[in-house]
Amino acid sequence: MSSIFSKIISGEIPCHKVAETDDFLAFLDINPNAKGHTLCIPKKEVDQLFDLDKTTYNGLMAFSRTVAIAIKKAIPCKRIGLTVIGLEVPHVHVHLIPLNTMEDAQFIKKEKSTSEDFQATATAIARFISTS
Ligand code: 5GP
């Protein structure tokens, strides 16, 4: 059975897209720790990060860097945290989280957002995605 993230890639489930390449997708986390919390995923469905082939692993890290730089430009914060953690979805995902306090990294405090907020945030980040 396809993962929920594969259903997002295929368009079966909607998302607030931030960036996309042939191999990777970035979209806002539906239950964000902080405004701008973004997930970067490979389109190839693999459960665990270190099971990715080297090319996809390196590509995912480079893609995440591009997205993190865009988030930092769009969302006021001290820095962008990167973590690969969690047991919920068996499809590799890099969490990029705008940090103002260490609580933002702890997956305890959640930010409430409307669909309009999500769309505005995704658009603001997407504007800063560098194509070079
Ligand atoms: P983890 O596997 O890292 O514990 O959790 C998966 C992450 O994916 C969570 O932060 C959760 O909010 C997010 N997530 C789960 N289902 C969906 C979904 O359908 N859409 C989006 N945008 N995010 C999701």
From CA 111, how far away is CA 42, in angstroms rounded? Answer: 25
What pLDDT is attached to residue 132? 65
Q: How far apart are CA 118 and CA 124, in angstroms?
A: 10
Q: Which residues pair with residue 80 across a beta bridge?
A: 98
Query: Is the CB–ligand 1 distance for residue 87 below 6 Å?
Result: yes
Gap from CA of 128 to ligand 1 centroid (Å)? 23
- How much is the pLDDT for 76? 97
Mean pLDDT of the region 52-73:
98
Task: Return the active site residues.
Answer: 93
CATH number at residue 29: 3.30.428.10
Q: Considering the domain boundaries, does residue 49 fall inside one?
A: yes
Pairing of the two strands 94-99 and 79-83: antiparallel
State the maximum Cα–Cα separation within the chain, in Å, rounded to a whole number. 39
Alpha carbon of 60 to ligand 1 centroid (Å): 17
pLDDT tens-digit readout, 80-102? 999 999 899 999 999 999 999 99
- Residues spanned by the domain of 63: 4-126
Dihedral pair phi/psi, residue 83, rounded to 5° = -145, 145
**Assigned domain for 132 exists:** no
Query: What's the number of domains the chain is made of?
Result: 1
Within a domain: 46: yes
What is the predicted pLDDT for the residue at 130?
Answer: 84
> Which ligand 1 atom is the nearest neighbour of the CA of 86?
4
